[in-house]
Amino acid sequence: MDELWKDKIFWTQEKCREKEIEPEKSDSDFGQTINIKEIRVPDSQTTGLEDEEADKLSEGKPEEVDAFKSIENKVIGLYFAADWCIPCQEFTCILKQTYEELKERVSPFEIVFVSFDKKIDDMKTFFSEKHGDWLSVPYKDPLVDVLKSKYEIKAIPKLIIIRDNGTIITEKGRKDIQDKGIICFRGWLQKANLSATKPSEKTLDSEKQDETKLVEKSIEKEKTVSFKENVSSITIE
């Protein structure tokens, strides 16, 4: 395991979603339903909430996952962004579509969001409502500054494509996606030199058979998302 991920966890979107809790009825309610919305606090801070109810709220989805295990033997996209950054909001839409298409192909790819939001509520809303179903470094975790320094992040949005040991495949993940769509993943995968993939995962040969369709889809995407070539970056220093 690379020291970068040792003893680290990532958040899932479930961690950042508001949870609705239906209060128990009392005699004073007179049969009326009271609609109350509450924010579920982490389990360590939960008070007055039965374990059974907490399990129902989680719907079987973990709020936290082991960092290394969740990205092991995958191509990883470190996505540095923030909700206050308009170019980030625009590129997030493109990235989400690309991610979903790759996941449909069972590609060994994962994205890890590294937030530069100024408030935790902004980060949680941005991550849970606008991002794809990927992972996030916990808000204000020391790992945020470690990654910012290691990959010399000067402006956002920035998508750094890496191996699970932290070595860089390309610093131009954003440009690759804007220019080529999901076709760029083949090049990333070849450079990653991952271990043998699972039988259920599509091989590079099968991806080559679909290249014509992917090119056509990428061209069509450029027509419908005309702003993407001109999306700027915002300096964070």
DSSP secondary structure letters along 83-125: TT-HHHHHHHHHHHHHHHHHHHTT-SEEEEEEE--SSHHHHHH
Supply the pLDDT for residue 156. 98
Would you say the pTM of this structure is higher than 0.75?
A: no
- Show the tokens assigned to 199: 């039988």
Residue 163 DSSP SS3: coil
Length of the chain: 237
Supply the pLDDT for residue 14. 92
Number of other CB atoms surrounding residue 117 within 10 Å: 20
How far is 35 from 111, CA to CA, in rounded Å? 36
How far is 111 from 134, CA to CA, in rounded Å? 6
Supply the pLDDT for residue 214. 54
| Pick from 68, 81, 71: nearest CA to 127 | 81
The CATH fold assigned to 67-235 is Glutaredoxin (3.40.30)
Supply the pLDDT for residue 197. 46
Q: What is the pLDDT along the chain (237 residues), one digit of tens a residue?
A: 578 999 999 999 999 986 554 555 555 554 554 444 443 444 444 444 444 444 444 456 789 999 999 999 999 999 999 999 999 999 999 999 999 999 999 999 999 999 999 999 999 999 999 999 999 999 999 999 999 999 999 999 999 999 999 999 999 999 999 999 999 999 999 999 987 444 334 444 545 555 555 545 554 544 444 444 445 788 876
